[in-house]
Structure 1
Amino acid sequence: MTSYLLEKAWVDGAVRDTVRVEIEDGVFTSVEVDATRTATPLRGLTLPGFANTHSHAFHRALRGRTQRGSGTFWTWREQMYAAAARLDPDTCFELARATYAEMLAAGYTSVCEFHYVHHQPDGTPYDDPNALGHALVAAAETTGIRLTLVDTCYLAGGIGEPLAGPQRRFADRDADAWAERVAAIRHDDVGGAIHSVRAVPREAMPTLVAATEGKPLHAHVSEQPAENEACLAAYGLTPVELLAEAGALGPRTTAVHATHLTQADISLLAETGTGVSLCPTTERDLGDGIGPARALADAGVPITIGSDSQAVVDPFEELRAWEMDERLASITRGRFAAADLLARTAGRIAVGEPGDLVTLDLTTPRTAGTGADEHTAVFAATAADVTHVVASGRVVFDGDHARIGRALAAAVGRLWS
């Protein structure tokens, strides 16, 4: 059993003083506000850990490279393919380990890894067909982040188009072969994904839905107008409508991005209990557009955040971007309260919940004098202000951001060497 005395902590929707917590077997067993008993002190503002619901770990190697010059999502994709072509199990492990360590140091204590690079560059499986997936699992176990491996089905180069170039690495023979490979992954928390309506044909979707019954199911949805146009031209349906037809929507499903939705799409997501993972720092980096966050929330759609392309790994910046983008789109301030944003994206410091703690320094140039409450976290703090992180009761970050930087430099340098 481990115990901490938190100077200030976000508990039950508000910041409380002098909170004593006990963690045993990875979960909180005691949470005491205005505590008088002593324990290991954590000074600053402590929050529950954040959930990162959409990640491509190897994209971390693109930061600072794809931002040069101009272009669109589609030109960025070619640069991403170049990085994907260089991956092997060793570089995948090293890069994921460093990226997951960066996530932990930023305050993410769990991650859904949307994993779509599966095979050798020519499309031939490795001796272990899940070698790259197992590299991701090992990286998560080494760093201490909780991983949901969302293994992604990718069968076509576009609607009605053959696979080409690096895409061959992504694809299994067909949906049944994908399901057979995924069933052999050695990890306790494995889900599946329909990469997109571009990459998974209509007739294959029901197989994926059946193979992931009772497990998480994710899909990139309506990230680009061109995706919607192609889907409507091919099927007479929007991507959301196509997924609904396949039975892919529901409480276990997360639609990623969901940037360009119709009102009917929003209603379908709400009626089925489907969640949405917003990735605003990636969406702004790629020029995707501003998603309808307020409309989704008003309809009752659960919303979470993801770091996606790793252009930024910082849950505080994701929340800030979520609200600030809404302000730009609506010309109105205060579209989401800070407490609401935290409640949607972070865990809970409560008995029975995962023993995750993220502590912010309240004396940095960014946080000093900000009031030491939820507004500090959402509108002032950055990942650089995190001093201590506990995940499932284990200390996974001790405040040494420079160490994380050195590991990232080595991993990214190795991929591009």
Structure 2
Amino acid sequence: MKSYWCERAWLPDGVAARVLVRVDRGRIVSVSTVDTIPLGVERLYGLVLPGFANAHSHAFHRALRGRTHGGGGTFWTWRDAMYELADRLTPDSYLRLARAVYAEMAVAGVTAVGEFHYLHDGGNEMAEALRQAARDAGIRITLLDACYLAGGIGEPVRGVQEKFSDGTGDAWLDRVAELRGDDNTRIGAAIHSVRAVPRDTLALVAGAFPDRPLHVHLSEQPAENRACLDAYGLTPTRLLAEAGALTERTTAVHGTHLTDEDIALLGGASSGVCLCPSTEADLADGIGPARELADAGSPLSLGSDQHAVVDLLAEARALEHGERLRTGHRGRFTPAELVGALANHAAIGWPEAGGIVVGAPCDLVSVRLDSVRTTGVEPGQVVMAATASDVSVVVAGGRVIARDGVHEALGDVPRLLGEALRPLLD
């Protein structure tokens, strides 16, 4: 049995001091406060938060960081660069890249990732590379295998998009059915978008795996909404609702450009929404109605998406800051709500995770309270000041996977990233 003593810990009832967490076979078996530190325990200083869930990731997009800004452009010109990168990847190069990206997540406090996976290349080799990469990095993964059949509404796939497509919905279903979960991997499904999945296939994907999470890119761009309205006379949200794709196991990603009716449909179905503030800013997508979605009944989660940064603390803070910029009011989300969003493992099919409670996987993130960013902050408000650089120790499934920015098993993450990126960028 392993034990961790936390100088302070974020418990369901608030921040508590001198917390002892006992672990057996990777799960928390007791949480208590103690006056004396027992012998032989691992000491975690600062504030210990539950492990972070990165609910929306495209691992291969990491190779585009800092390489798409020279000419300005739009989401659509950025997408062209993404296509060029996708065309160069093989299962081996993707394994190296994803392993490095997941290691970068691990040192930043991420203990589980939802990988929105559409780079199929005719089979499941890329998916198996992602599975192995997560295991090597010591974090859990949910493979959200995306159906991608069209290059736009009424348009065939072209060029590199053929790597994303299975040809038909039935072929997608057959391929995904071959994927098996394990102790570190869960399998989910995804509708890439209403642009990439024809209307007559949406219901098939939505109902294919009724006990698994279902994710979908939704209303990220106004052009997507216009195309859907022109083709079907419906918003993307209404189209998904009519296909039975909005349920409590659904997470809509982005949800940036929604009508009041869209918000009501999502909230009424208890469908979650994953916000990716750094990506939505980087691609000039806009600022979505996060508070309205939460108030309507949509659980919120966070993702780093294209990995312009990998810092879930910064994503949580940007969620609140976006609301302040959009509305002119502060305190749209409490620190507790922000921590709830960054630890929302249920969004990616791990509902037992995301809290320092008995029965949960022992996922702990120790955040320094003595850095230049966090010195003097109230522990309960650390999410409004800390960054990934303040993460000191990360525990996933009861095992330390990172210390002070260095991965315990994989070592120096910048070196790992450099070795993976160099062949793709030369």
What is the TM-score normalised by the length of structure 2? 0.94
Q: Does 1:155 align with 2:149?
A: yes
Cα contact 1:277–1:304 (8 A) shared by 2: yes
Q: Does 1:375 align with 2:376?
A: no
Aligned 1:196-211 pairs, distance under 5 A: 196-211=193-208
Q: Does 1:302 align with 2:299?
A: yes
Partner in structure 1 of residue 14 of structure 2: 14
Corresponding letter in the other structure for 1:216? P
Partner in structure 1 of residue 108 of structure 2: 106
Q: Deviations over 1:103-127 (max 9, x none)?
A: 11111111110000011xxxxx3xx
Q: Percent of counterpart pairs with the same letter?
A: 56
Q: Secondary structure in 1 aligned to 2:238?
A: helix
Aligned 1:18-417 pairs, distance under 5 A: 18-38=18-38, 39-119=41-121, 125=122, 129-188=123-182, 189-346=186-343, 347-371=354-378, 373-376=379-382, 378-401=383-406, 403-417=412-426
Q: Secondary structure in 2 aligned to 1:334?
A: coil
Partner in structure 1 of residue 348 of structure 2: none
Cα contact 1:223–1:258 (8 A) shared by 2: yes
Residue 35 of structure 1 and its aligned partner are, at CA, apart by 4.4
Q: Which runs of 4+ in 1 moved over 6 A?
A: none
Corresponding letter in the other structure for 2:261? A
Cα separation, 1, equivalents of 2:16 and 2:392: 19
Cα separation, 2, equivalents of 1:155 and 1:298: 34
Corresponding letter in the other structure for 1:256? V
Cα separation, 2, equivalents of 1:325 and 1:281: 10
Cα separation, 1, equivalents of 2:13 and 2:145: 34
Q: Deviations over 1:145-165 (max 9, x none)?
A: 110000011000000011111
Residue 173 of structure 1 and its aligned partner are, at CA, apart by 1.7
Cα separation, 1, equivalents of 2:310 and 2:330: 25
Q: Which moved more, 1:337-346 or 1:106-115?
A: 337-346
Cα separation, 2, equivalents of 1:161 and 1:82: 20
Partner in structure 1 of residue 2 of structure 2: 2
Once superposed, what is the RMSD of the aligned Cα atoms?
1.2
Corresponding letter in the other structure for 2:114? C
What is the TM-score normalised by the length of structure 1? 0.95
Q: Secondary structure in 2 aligned to 1:61?
A: helix
Corresponding letter in the other structure for 1:409? G
Cα contact 1:355–1:391 (8 A) shared by 2: yes
Corresponding letter in the other structure for 1:100? Y
Cα separation, 2, equivalents of 1:351 and 1:187: 24
Q: Secondary structure in 2 aligned to 1:180?
A: helix
Cα separation, 2, equivalents of 1:294 and 1:215: 26
Q: Number of aligned pairs?
A: 407
Structure 1 gap ranges (5+): 120-124
Cα 1:256/1:278, change in 2 over 3 Å:
same
Cα contact 1:113–1:147 (8 A) shared by 2: yes
Structure 2 gap ranges (5+): 344-353
Q: Secondary structure in 2 aligned to 1:85?
A: helix
Cα separation, 2, equivalents of 1:243 and 1:87: 32
Cα separation, 2, equivalents of 1:83 and 1:374: 41
Residue 299 of structure 1 and its aligned partner are, at CA, apart by 1.1
Corresponding letter in the other structure for 2:75? F
Cα separation, 2, equivalents of 1:80 and 1:274: 29
Cα contact 2:148–2:165 (8 A) shared by 1: yes
Residue 213 of structure 1 and its aligned partner are, at CA, apart by 1.6
